[in-house]
Structure 1
């Protein structure tokens, strides 16, 4: 049936599990038809909202379209759409920010409530009813398993050669029936190439022919290249010390320009035969595979720029042998991250002098995107880097502060902080030792004296000295920016 007919099958107040992860593999037609229906219902004076669950962020055609018409009541677990963000911060959408590895299990446990409808993009349906997954897997397996009803969008535009690139694992279970996940190598296959669905639950099949949203990445700037250089030098040092093998350990890289700059820096680095074990395969990792620097990679989604997507499509037979796409409950699973010894690299908004990291909130209250998978990898990785330029907003904000305005990753989960100024290795250091290293190596020179002054006065304050703070002053930097547009006193 058509998208409008399928959207008419979704009732007001329904919880809808959509496919999609970082702009790839999301349904293209039904969300827009649903948005049009919601807009018409609102114009007629009838309330209509739905709860939206996904794998991660999607695109303006899904999050943006539904947010624009005020059609989202609840959203989880991650988003990056400007309109959606605006409504979240206005208190119009209840946003549930969840570690990506936790979503499927919380849904299975029943913690999130029932899932009424799944809307999942696939590339095709086999004669026996199995489904060919698209460019992302995300939470699709779980949505298909637990939803009361299923709507399938069959997209004929992506290359059919994606078939066989996926590894869908059906061995997870709810406690106490859980068993170890028998994956011992980053690109090992432990499942099957197809998704399953009970045909009795399928209420609509909608044909589409639309591309994913491919966003061009900005070229790495000087700060990104400097951050990449610090990380690569550090990794070489760890190899020299015998704490890493020469081909390192599997790499995880978050989304964005800094992450791509680090991966681009590895092209000229001394490391060979690399492996990837990440959430998203972006341009930088694709380039490492293309040049032979990276042997193979595992992820839950492919999210490329238009240029990189053309390269991927033209040489898809080459990449099919070197890329595995899994469910995000496997790609982000703490058990596997710990076992494989993943080296994690993720962006942050700010860090404080003691190593606490804020990766989600601006000035303590405004949601940016969400925690995503950074916590899955940070707490469980063999090495974990958090990266950011040392300043923001033209230098009016220091990204190294006395106390973060929101905590996503505590000092106990933070190993290494990197800015363009330098790298602070916090492993094995007490809080006061960490503070001095962060100030000396990561803070911008314009802000370093102010941070040092705060730390010195906190140590002289007469209070407890394990983690010295001036509580009446610790968050005044953020308040000053809200009041004056600058953190400067």
Structure 2
């Protein structure tokens, strides 16, 4: 039986050991009272490591690095402050490999902190807002501490938890964290319309996080029989499910159900997902599995990038010298879309950032997605389908979707490219 503790008397100095590695759910899934207590009590614990996902709370601050070693698979959200201060170490790893490492013990987690929904009539707890990589640590962590949040949505998924899965329980009653929608710019809307024009009714969608994926979903409101199989689900998925555009009726697998790893939206999404059997949260080893993705017909992967070069190499990690993105799941999903019957492997990005072109002659950051994996690149100026094209053919297509003000400059740099052919 788990030990039941009051939040005000939670003494983590007796539970977390020096040298431990601690993990919790990312974004809205963060068990905020537990993580705040951990940071407040860090001096009583000693030096330990925290493995972060996307941070939306700002709980982990630069000054906490006096006792905490911060590691993350991404530089998104509040992690950017840690990156800029030089106190965040990055795991440059595919999302699928991240999950495999946690499951195998290659990335050992000592203490797992969860936010779960209250137990049902059978005494089973729901993982609520996130399943994804957390599921892989439940059986391997030395200590599992659960915040049972009265306001956390009950979601269906791969596994529910019993009391024998939990070591410590702390009851709370608070609104979960929320992610507000990002207003799409005109360029984002134009990109969305381009993508919507090539997505067929009956397609199954995966979308990354941000303004462009949200805009794409908005542009698909008139489509029918769409499905979802994605790492994250946002408010736009709930809206399209409500209006009937997404019903998962024609999916090759998981028919009738939107599959995701985590909920990344507002209360609108949390309320919609609560006790809704049409949404199911699964582990990363399922959502990002190559064989699973290949088995989904008309699988459309829509992901963003920092920059793309004229041959199709993609940098999704570093902008202006700062780590702002991730390797993440983009490569998993893009490869899955290549293998899918009728699949569309899409990278979407605005053509410029300020005065700088995001279509470049020579990539400035790391190559997150190799040109051998390149598929369809979309900017507000059009679509470049690079599949089956030679380097010279790709250059022509990529120039056509670059910003007109930068095309002459890119053409003048073509001498750099000829060595890549």
Q: After the TM superposition, which residues 424-443 of structure 1 pair with which residues of structure 2 at under 5 Å, given as runs? A: 424-440=384-400, 442-443=401-402
1:152 Cα deviation (Å)?
1.2
Contact in 2 for aligned 1:28/1:210 (Cα 8 Å): no
Shift of 1:232: 1.8
Query: In the aligned structure 1, how far is the partner of 2:100 from the partner of 2:75?
Result: 19
In structure 1, distance between residues paired with 2:74 and 2:314: 18
Asked if the contact 1:78–1:98 (Cα under 8 Å) also holds between the matched residues in 2, the reply is: no
Q: Is the 8 A contact 1:74 1:96 kept in 2?
A: no
Deviation at residue 197 of structure 1 after TM alignment: 6.6
Question: Which residue does 1:215 correspond to in 2?
Answer: 179
Residues 178-211 of structure 1: per-residue CA shift (max 9 Å, x gap): xxxxxxxxxxxxxx5x135745xx4421112222
**Among candidates 449, 453, 474, match of residue 408 of structure 2:** 449
Shift of 1:136: 1.5
SS at match of 1:385: strand
Give TM-score, length-normalised by structure 1.
0.76
Equivalence for 2:358: 399
Equivalent pair of 1:283/1:304 in contact (CA under 8 Å) = yes
Map of 1:345 onto structure 2: 302
Q: Deviations over 1:247-298 (max 9, x none)?
A: 3421001111111000100013xx3111011111112221111100110411
Contact 1:72 1:93 in 2 (8 A): no
Specify the alignment match of 1:26 in structure 2: 30
Task: Specify the SS of the correspondent of 1:320.
Answer: coil
Are 1:249 and 1:340, in contact at CA under 8 Å, matched by a contact in 2? no
**1:44-72 CA distances to partner (integer Å, 9 max, x unpaired)?**
xxx93422235x314325xx335442243
Pick one of 130, 142, 148 that aligns with 2:142.
Answer: 148
Structure 2: gaps (5+ residues): 249-257, 338-342
Separation in structure 2 between the aligned mates of residue 15 and residue 60 of structure 1, nearest angstrom: 20
Q: How does 1:456-467 map to 2 (within 5 A)?
A: 457-458=415-416, 465=418, 467=420
- Equivalent pairs counted in the alignment come to 398
Does the 8 Å contact 2:132/2:261 carry over to 1?
yes
Partners of 1:389 and 1:123 lie apart in 2 by: 39
Once the two structures are TM-superposed, the CA of residue 116 in structure 1 deviates from its matched residue by 1.4
Specify every segment of 5 or more residues in structure 1 that has no aligned partner in the other structure, as ranges: 42-46, 169-191, 236-245, 460-464, 469-489
Q: Distance in 2 between matches of 1:428 and 1:209?
A: 55
Deviations 1:65-106 (A, max 9, x none): 354422431413335233x32333443232213222222211
| Cα separation, 2, equivalents of 1:197 and 1:372 | 32
* Match 1:266 to one of 203, 209, 220: 220
- CA displacement at 1:32 relative to structure 2: 0.3
Which segment drifts farther, 371-380 or 249-258? Answer: 371-380
Q: 1:49 to 1:67 in 2, by over 3 A?
A: farther
Contact persistence 2:62–2:85 (CA under 8 A): no
Contact 1:253 1:344 in 2 (8 A): yes
Q: 2:229 aligns with which of 255, 277, 295?
A: 277
Contact 1:32 1:66 in 2 (8 A): no
Distance change in 2, residues 1:333/1:426 (3 Å): same
Supply the distance in 2 between the matched residues of 1:203 and 1:458 (Cα, whole angstroms). 58
Q: In structure 2, which of residues 326, 345, 354 is the aligned counterpart of residue 384 of structure 1?
A: 345
Shift of 1:128: 7.1
Work out whether residues 203 and 225 of structure 2, in 8 Å CA contact, stay in contact via their aligned partners in 1.
no
* SS of residue in 2 equivalent to 1:231: helix
Q: TM-score by structure 2 length? A: 0.87
For residue 328 of structure 1, report the CA deviation from its aligned partner.
2.1
Q: Distance in 2 between matches of 1:74 and 1:5?
A: 23
Q: Give the whole-Å Cα distance in 2 for the aligned partners of 1:387 and 1:68.
A: 36
Partner Cα separation in structure 1 for residue 115 and residue 161 of structure 2: 11
Contact 1:16 1:116 in 2 (8 A): yes
Q: Distance in 1 between matches of 2:233 and 2:224?
A: 18
* Secondary structure of the structure 1 residue equivalent to 2:377: strand
Higher deviation after alignment, 1-10 or 254-263: 1-10
Cα distance change, pair 369–6 in 1 and its aligned pair in 2 (3 A): farther
Alignment match of 2:197 (pick from 226, 233, 238): 233
In structure 2, the residue matched to 1:57 is: 54
Does 1:75 pair with 2:71?
A: yes
CA contact (8 A) 2:74 2:324 kept: no
- Asked whether 1:303 is paired with 2:300, we answer no
Q: Distance in 1 between matches of 2:140 and 2:75?
A: 22
Paired residues for 1:307-322 under 5 Å: 308-309=268-269, 313=271, 320-322=276-278
The 8 Å contact of residues 123 and 131 in structure 1, kept in 2 or not, is answered as yes
Equivalence for 2:251:
none
